[in-house]
């Protein structure tokens, strides 16, 4: 019995001595496995890998910040929408007395005058001028929509480069209101006796607008390369023509050819004020150097008077100089004269 206990005790002692060594080896193996797993999880860098530059790092930081602030921006947009909504409500309440834009629009009195932009010169313009024509048409449309006396607006011979440019850059033109856009020539649906072509080359000068007529503006942006073309076309088609009474009221430093939208806006202004001079000076840009003709006459007469006065002063000064020269002449001349008389006297035979 004693021998069995001794043997068991020895076995237990051996196992207790071997246990720390086993635990130590198992821990070492586990660490090795973990290190291998970590190495396997690390991205393997290729030989051609280059470190991130400072600029790229800044971009990444900004992108991260932008993504983090997405919710904040969303909240700010919501607050902005609510604020605008409150402002609109306050404005509607303040305009409840009838001064709001919609009520003003209801008081508009439409004119029966027809105003046509003739777009049949498409082939004579380069793309740059086509784009300018498009912008001028946009301006005419906007001004007519805002005018207290809008005209019957027509856009004729619409097609070619102009239509293509409008389709590409202004797709909303198909939804324009209070305008008649037609691919046909204006002569196809308006009587010849109702037409008056507005051209600066015409010898006829408008005195007033007849609202039963249809006035045509040439849709040509050519920087005066085709001078007299609209006048020739009107004459060839047997259409009445005239020019705005610009020279009767305005003196300009530049030529009298106006942009399409300027002619359009002058007519709208005249329909409202019935005063050509006020219409011209309200619409004409300052770069034209326009001044009223009566002031131009005053300045010219003033210039003439000043020139006359200067001439008189110059003549007076020249006379004074001559008299001064006579007074300042030396007495030698008198002695010469006396000598000459003496010689003549001596030369007379006694």
Residue 294: pLDDT over 80? no
The catalytic position among 118, 222, 240, 328 is 222
- Give the pLDDT of residue 195: 97
pLDDT per residue over 49-105, tens digit each?
A: 567 888 888 888 988 888 888 888 888 888 888 888 888 888 776 665 544 444 445
DSSP string, 181-236: E-SS-GGGTS-GGGEEEE-TT-S-B-SS--TTSEEEEE----TTTTTTHHHHHHHH
| Residue 222 bears catalytic tag | yes
Dist CA 347 CA 345 (whole Å): 5
Dist CA 204 CA 151 (whole Å): 23
Longest CA pairwise span in the chain (Å): 208
Say how many CA atoms lie within 13 Å of 333 toward its Cβ. 5
Give whole-number Cα distances, 54 to 58, 66, 68, 308, in Å.
6, 18, 21, 78
Q: Taking CA 188 as the corner, what is the angle to CA 183 and CA 190, rounded to the nearest 5 degrees?
A: 115
For 12, the token pair is: 């237990």
Which residue's structure tokens are 């919501």? 78
Which CATH architecture is the domain 114-295 placed in? Answer: 3-Layer(aba) Sandwich (3.40)
Q: What is the mean pLDDT of residues 109-126?
A: 95
Percent of the chain clearing pLDDT 90 (strictly above): 42
State the pTM of this model. Answer: 0.57
Q: In this structure, what DSSP letter does residue 243 have?
A: B
pLDDT per residue over 181-232, tens digit each?
A: 999 999 999 999 999 999 999 999 999 999 999 999 999 998 777 888 999 9
Q: How many Å is the Cα radius of gyration of the chain? A: 48
């Amino acid at each position: 019995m004693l021998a069995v206990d001794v043997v068991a005790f020895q076995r237990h002692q051996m196992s207790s001595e071997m246990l720390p060594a086993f635990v130590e080896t198992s821990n070492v193996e586990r660490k090795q496995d973990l290190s291998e797993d970590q190495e396997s999880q690390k991205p393997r860098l290729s030989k051609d890998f280059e470190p991130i530059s400072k600029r790229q790092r800044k971009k990444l930081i900004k992108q991260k910040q932008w993504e983090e602030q997405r919710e904040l921006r969303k909240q700010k947009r919501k607050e902005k929408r609510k604020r605008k909504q409150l402002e609109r409500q306050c404005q509607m309440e303040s305009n409840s007395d009838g001064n709001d834009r919609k009520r003003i629009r209801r008081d508009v009195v439409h004119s029966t005058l027809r105003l046509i932009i003739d777009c049949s010169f498409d082939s004579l313009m380069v793309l740059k001028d086509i784009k300018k024509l498009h912008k001028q048409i946009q301006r005419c449309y906007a001004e007519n929509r805002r005018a207290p006396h809008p005209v019957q607006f027509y856009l004729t011979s619409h097609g070619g480069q102009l239509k293509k440019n409008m389709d590409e850059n202004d797709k909303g033109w198909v939804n324009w209101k209070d305008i008649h856009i037609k691919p046909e020539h204006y002569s196809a649906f308006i009587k010849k006796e109702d037409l008056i072509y507005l051209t600066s080359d015409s010898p006829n000068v408008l005195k007033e607008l007849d609202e039963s007529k249809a006035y045509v503006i040439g849709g040509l942006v050519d920087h005066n390369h085709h001078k007299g073309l609209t006048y020739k076309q009107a004459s060839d088609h047997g259409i009445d023509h005239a020019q705005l009474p610009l020279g009767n009221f305005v003196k300009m430093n530049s030529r009298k050819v106006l942009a399409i939208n300027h002619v359009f806006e002058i007519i709208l202004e005249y329909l409202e004020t019935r005063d050509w001079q006020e219409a011209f000076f309200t619409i004409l840009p300052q770069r034209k150097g326009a001044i009223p003709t009566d002031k131009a006459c005053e300045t010219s007469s003033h210039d003439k008077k000043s020139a006359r006065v200067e001439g008189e002063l110059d003549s007076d000064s020249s006379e004074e100089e001559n008299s001064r020269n006579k007074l300042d002449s030396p007495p030698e001349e008198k002695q010469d004269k006396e000598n000459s008389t003496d010689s003549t006297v001596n030369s007379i035979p006694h």
